[in-house]
Amino acid sequence: MKITMIGTGYVGLVTGTCFAETGNDVTCVDIIEAKIEKLCRGESPIYEPGLEEMIRRNVSLGRLHFTTDLASTVPGSDMAFIAVGTPSSDDGRADLTALFKAVESLAEVLDRKTIVVIKSTVPVGTNAKALSILEENAGHACDLASNPEFLKEGAAIDDFMKPDRVVVGVRRPEVADVLHDLYRPFLRTEHPFISMSPESAEMTKYVANAMLASKISFINEMANVCEKVGADVNDVRRGIGHDARIGFAFLFPGVGYGGSCFPKDVRALYVTAIDAGAESHMLTVIDEVNNRQKTVLTDKLESELGSSLKGKRIAIWGLAFKPRTDDIREAPALVMIDRLLKLGADVHVHDPEAMENVRQQYGDRLTYADAKYGPYSTLEKADALMICTEWKEYQHPDFALMRNLMKQPLIFDGRNLYEPSRVADAGFKYYSIGRATTGG
Ligand code: NAD
């Protein structure tokens, strides 16, 4: 199949590359020339494990192409996917400017009844609105399907290649048949292909993300209660997770969820509910609990070091909103950095992949870890270490070396990476989430 993919972000690039991997002829289009230039050189503009190798392989086999020129690729395409960003507006609504712009540009160059598919996460009713724009501008009837994406950054290729399910929203069963055929190589293990109306498909994506976000906010709130009553949230998590009705997924306490999806999607679904005249108590609370959770680690640090951090050096390990990505959108680490800078701290940071993105935002207001010495280079004369992302390389650090480098033996672990008694034995005062503070 000849496919055009509009938008080469975390979703568009992975989707386009995976479609090429199964033998389709895919052209990815973006409006950012620098991105396309990089991709044409075989370099991925984002960090996603395994992606760059897959891009290179498919480019060299002549199945994957990159351009900024939509008009050069759409004519002759069997399908065109739209995977542009839909960020939050100030009022919480999804900002659909890029999406509708992409639809208009596409309509200008459609030369026949190509199947158009919205992969971006969009509120209910967007497909219908986009269809009328498409048909009006193209001057003929069009098929516009919705195909929400459920991949996780950091495991995106695996998720795309082996999805738990594929959901499509269509108006005609024939369109679902074409999409089913396209996805068949990814569904060989009998995972379902679920066809429904565009409205239900749009809603499915938001409900899935709100459900996952609610699990995180729930366990975070329980962690805070555990701390107050002398329980250990990790034991509680183990105690409930074996219940098949509950499970373990998304029940790790921490410093809140971030990223380009959960925060904006929970807010957008809340607005959808309110606009529709439906009540929505849970969605407000999920978001509120999460915003509050992003401050708990700095609260603990302030209670230990005082609220003026002038002259204090604070190290932060982990800046990306989660491991195995360089994405820092709405990352909890950024909330902490802002507060630490406001309180006058000298902030030294490390992340295996996200430092460049943070540097673009904060410039020389932060000190960045030395590439050669890695995370330890942030610890010299540090008054405290804060851990915000659970990268694997932080799991077994050299506590003796850390103790020697740091001015004060203080660790604030926002991801519960370590066994509290072990860190205390290594000479540290150790704060974590939902567990008793040890050492000191
Ligand atoms: P992104 O911001 O990483 O990428 C979007 C890309 O679209 C950018 O490169 C941008 O330049 C490009 N673009 C914008 N307008 C364009 C146009 N008119 N023509 C061509 N390119 C254009 O976004 P993302 O993280 O890939 O997310 C895309 C959509 O998928 C969003 O709606 C998001 O909510 C959803 N989603 C994201 C994830 C995720 O993990 N990131 C997972 C599932 C769904």
Which helix H or strand E contains 15, and what residues bound it?
helix 10-21
Centre of ligand 1 to C-alpha 339, Å, is 29
Give CATH for domain 294-431: 3.40.50.720
Mean residue pLDDT of the chain comes to 97
Domain 205-292 matching CATH 3.50.50.60: the answer reads no
Residue in 30, 206, 209 to alter for ligand 1 test, most ligand atoms within 8 A of Cβ:
30
Could you tell me if 226 and 220 are in contact, meaning their C-beta atoms sit under 8 angstroms apart?
no
Q: Rounded distance, CA 185 to CA 176, Å?
A: 15
Locate tokens 């949230």: which residue?
A: 233
Centre of ligand 1 to C-alpha 8, Å, is 7
Name which residue sits closest to atom 34 of ligand 1, judged by CA: 121
Kindly give the number of the ligand 1 atom that is closest to the alpha carbon of 12: 26
Give the dihedral sign, CA 263/267/273/275: negative
Kindly give the number of the ligand 1 atom that is closest to the alpha carbon of 260: 41
Locate tokens 């069009």: which residue?
A: 142
Kindly give the number of the ligand 1 atom that is closest to the alpha carbon of 11: 26
Give the total residue count for the chain: 440
- Three-state DSSP at 421 gives helix
User: Which pLDDT band holds residue 261 (cuts at 50, 70, 90)?
Assistant: very high
> pTM (2 decimals)?
0.96
Kindly give the number of the ligand 1 atom that is closest to the alpha carbon of 156: 40
Give CATH for domain 2-196: 3.40.50.720
Residues with CB under 6 A from ligand 1: 6-12, 29-32, 35, 83-86, 98, 101-102, 105, 120-121, 149, 151, 153, 260-261
Q: Rounded distance, CA 161 to CA 64, Å?
A: 17
Q: For residue 329, what are the contacts with CB-CB under 8 A and spacing of at least 6?
A: 258, 259, 260, 321
Pairing outcome for strands 346-350 and 313-317: parallel
Centre of ligand 1 to C-alpha 260, Å, is 9
pLDDT surpasses 90 at 414: yes
Question: Where do the domains of the chain lie?
Answer: 2-196, 205-292, 294-431
> Could you tell me the end-to-end alpha-carbon distance of the chain, in angstroms, rounded to an integer?
63
Which helix H or strand E contains 64, and what residues bound it?
strand 64-67
For 155-183, what is each residue's pLDDT tens digit?
999 999 999 999 999 999 999 999 999 99
Residue in 4, 51, 260 to alter for ligand 1 test, most ligand atoms within 8 A of Cβ:
260
Q: Would 205-292 and 294-431 be classified into the same CATH topology?
A: no
pLDDT, residue 431, reads 98
Q: Rounded distance, CA 81 to CA 212, Å?
A: 26
Catalytic residues: 261
For 214-237, what is each residue's pLDDT tens digit?
999 999 999 999 999 999 999 999
Stretch 373-384: mean pLDDT:
96
